[in-house]
């Protein structure tokens, strides 16, 4: 079984409001899965179930099970910090920390106790290369990450996520704040790294889903109404 993530009957309530109505959805390794559907249909909420970010929303209550590599990520003993090393998130607005490019990408590594700059430097470099931003920042590693364009900042954020070597990367509309060229660069980055990761991307852009995803899950009103191979879904729209 090549499914790395298996979610069964995932329901999520915000107070009385049911935002997810029992989602059954699996994800396989080395593939990009797009979550699509109109605004408010529950895509971001579902994505936050996968890294337990809904834990931070007091009124959010989830039931159902999510297993990653056969481990129930909501089991009582789970260490959420460990989970978030396995599952990296890239948000909609580029959100680099207000310090240098180097320190942004090294951030998670330093938290893990790697302090030596000689040890950090090659990981920072390879992460920036994977994120296809190295050539643009290599002579500016000490510049504040906020001094770069939005598209560059987003690729710096992707490099920051890659540096901690997650198995799974979640992206919530990562290009919706970017211009078209920057969006294509981010798409190309995802295509070039997918062989090493499991990637799940929320997008409201159907063309983007058809360009980069292997599988597409279509949400509507908190329900999963279609889940298929992307080519099949876009060739035979219902
Ligand atoms: P999408 O990502 O598809 O736009 P969301 O997951 O953001 O949808 O939202 C799903 C539904 O849950 C929407 O009706 C939204 O208003 C609601 N919602 C999202 N977050 C919260 C929250 N923290 N509290 C209450 N309702 C929320
Ligand atoms: P998105 O679809 O990109 O998540 P939204 O505008 O739906 O954009 O949500 C932005 C943020 O506000 C999210 O973190 C979401 O959880 C929160 N949110 C959305 N709807 C509600 C709501 N009805 N009540 C409280 N928080 C909400």
The confidence score (pLDDT) of residue 178 equals 87
Residues 189 and 132: their CA atoms lie apart, in Å, by 6
ipTM: 0.75
42 CA to centre of ligand 2 in angstroms: 10
- What are the beta bridge partners of residue 89? 170
Atom 13 (ligand 1): residue with closest C-alpha? 40
Residues 127 and 103: their CA atoms lie apart, in Å, by 13
Tokens of 207: 């063309």
Atom 16 (ligand 1): residue with closest C-alpha? 40
45 CA to centre of ligand 2 in angstroms: 9
Phi, psi of 100 (to 5 degrees): -65, 160
Atom 19 (ligand 1): residue with closest C-alpha? 45
From first to last of the 238 residues of the chain, give the pLDDT tens digit: 577 999 999 999 999 999 999 999 999 999 999 999 999 999 999 999 999 999 999 999 999 999 999 999 999 999 999 999 999 999 999 999 999 999 999 999 999 999 999 999 999 999 999 999 999 999 999 999 999 999 999 999 999 999 999 999 999 999 998 889 989 999 999 999 999 999 999 999 999 999 999 999 999 999 999 999 999 988 876 6
Q: Is the CB of 44 under 6 A from ligand 1?
A: yes
The confidence score (pLDDT) of residue 238 equals 63
Ligand 2 mutation pick, 44, 59, 172, max ligand atoms within 8 A of CB: 44
């Amino acid at each position: 079984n090549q499914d790395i993530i298996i979610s069964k009957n995932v329901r999520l309530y915000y107070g009385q409001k049911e935002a997810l109505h029992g989602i059954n959805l699996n994800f396989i390794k080395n593939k990009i899965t797009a979550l699509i559907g109109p605004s408010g249909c529950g895509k971001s909420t579902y994505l936050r179930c996968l890294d337990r970010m809904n834990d931070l929303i007091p009124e959010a209550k989830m039931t159902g099970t999510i297993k990653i590599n056969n481990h129930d990520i909501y089991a009582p003993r789970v260490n959420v910090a460990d989970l978030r090393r396995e599952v990296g998130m890239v948000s909609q607005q580029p959100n680099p920390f207000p310090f240098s490019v180097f320190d942004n990408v090294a951030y998670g590594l330093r938290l893990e106790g790697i302090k030596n700059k000689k040890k950090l430097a090659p990981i920072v470099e390879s992460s920036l290369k994977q994120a296809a931003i190295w050539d643009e920042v290599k002579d500016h590693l000490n510049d504040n990450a906020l001094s770069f364009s939005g598209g560059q900042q987003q690729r710096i954020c992707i490099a920051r996520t890659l540096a901690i070597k997650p198995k799974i990367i979640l992206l919530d509309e990562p290009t919706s704040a970017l211009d078209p060229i920057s969006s294509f660069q981010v798409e190309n980055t995802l295509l070039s790294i997918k062989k090493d990761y499991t990637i799940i991307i929320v997008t409201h852009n159907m063309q983007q889903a058809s360009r980069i995803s292997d599988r597409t899950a279509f949400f509507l009103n908190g329900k999963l109404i279609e889940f298929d191979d992307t080519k099949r879904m876009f060739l035979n729209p219902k």
